[in-house]
Each structure stands twice: as C-alpha cells, then as structure tokens.
Amino acid sequence: MLLTVATDGENGWFRHAGENAGFWGWFFEPLLYLLNKDQEFQFIRLTTIDEYLKEHLPEDTIVVDDGSWNVPGVPDDARFLKWTEGKEREDTWDDILKTSILVHEADGKVRDLGQTCPPKLAEAIKQAWRWLLMAESCDNFWWGGEDWLNRSKICCTKAKEKISEIMKKS
C-alpha cells in the first residue's frame, strides 16, 4: 500500500495533538513517535511515488474532480479563483508560464550535454528549477497581495538569471 502524506504545512497543525486532532492526532503524531524510536525506519519503507509506481503498475484509474477546500467568499472553488482571479494574479501566472518555458528549454540543453555538462551548468539548472518551484508557491497566490505576488516575480527573475548563465555557456 502506498500512503502519500501531503499537507499545507505552514498552518502549523502539527501543534494539535491527541485523538481530536484528526490526521495529526491519530496518524502523524504516532508516526513521529515511531520515527524517534526507530531512526533506521525498520517499520516502514520510505519511497517516492515514481519508485512505487515502477514496482507496482497501476491497474485502475481514479478521476478526482477539480476543487479546493472551502474558501469563504469564493463561490466556485472548482475554478480556483482564490489563486487565479484578478489582473495581478493573471500577470504573475503569465510570468511563471514564460519562465517555465525557458527553464524547460534550458533543461533540455543541459540534458543534451550529458556527461560533458560542466558542473556549473548542472548547478545552474538545479537552481533555476528551485526558483521556478518557489515562484509557483500556492501561498503567494492564496494571499495574493502585492508583497506576496512580488515574491513569485522575484523568483522568476532569479530563475531567468540562472537560465541566462546556462544559455551563455551552452
């Protein structure tokens, strides 16, 4: 069985304990207890989703409807309006899309170099991906104020700087 634990961790729900804390009380807290007792992880096998799927090919397909958790004041969460609505958010997503295209192109160039790829280029593409992923952070769009959206824009700028290094040297 594959159990994937993915949480919106900045909310600090890990501070809630006991049976009444739901997931945190009946699963996560006991898991941390076991991890502290057995740091060799003898009771559990840690893996990635890719590794698991290589060993256990899916037999069925599950379709999950679009949607998000309840967002007060946003009537249609299946369109993710809290993360997409408004000119500022649209412009920021556009910057991320353009940056993503550049990162993918640069990644292709680095991959084409294969074993001959200089370490500096390998590190630059790694950093470009890191900056792009930070630009895509959902919190920037959830909060959506100028300061938050500016974080995404700064991350896009940093990713483009790394891409520029790659394009000059490849």
Question: What is this structure's pTM?
Answer: 0.69
How many structural domains comprise the chain? 2
Residue 38 lies in a domain: yes
Residues 86 and 162 in one domain: yes
Query: Residue 70: inside a domain, yes or no?
Result: no
**What is the model's pLDDT at position 33?**
86
Question: How deeply is 29 buried, as exposed, middle or buried, from its count of CB atoms within 10 A (0-12, 13-18, 19+)?
Answer: middle
Q: What does the DSSP assignment read for 14-48?
A: GG--SGGGTHIIIIIHHHHHHHHH-TT-TT-----
pLDDT per residue over 28-47, tens digit each? 778 888 888 887 878 788 88
Final residue before a domain boundary, out of 37, 63, 89:
63
In a domain? residue 68? no
Residues 106 and 132 in one domain: yes
From residue 74, alpha-carbon distances to 12, 19, 30, 53, 142 in Å are 24, 32, 36, 36, 12
Q: Give the pLDDT of residue 76.
A: 62
Domain span at residue 129 reads 81-169
* Burial status of residue 106 (CB atoms within 10 A of its CB: 0-12, 13-18, 19 or more): buried
Q: Does any domain span residue 21?
A: yes
pLDDT digits (tens, 9 = 90+) for 123-149: 999 999 999 999 999 889 988 889 999
Is 73 within a domain? no
- Phi and psi at residue 57, in whole multiples of 5°? -65, 135
Residue 71 resides in a domain: no
Amino acid at 111: R
In this structure, is residue 143 part of a structural domain? yes
Residues 42 and 14 grouped into a single domain: yes
**Same domain as 90, residue 156:** yes
Q: Are residues 85 and 163 in the same domain?
A: yes
Lowest mean pLDDT of 90-94, 98-102, 143-147, 158-162, name the range. Answer: 143-147
Is pLDDT of 121 > 80? yes
d(CA 63, CA 93): 26
Answer yes or no: do 104 and 163 share one domain: yes
* Residue 75 placed within a domain: no
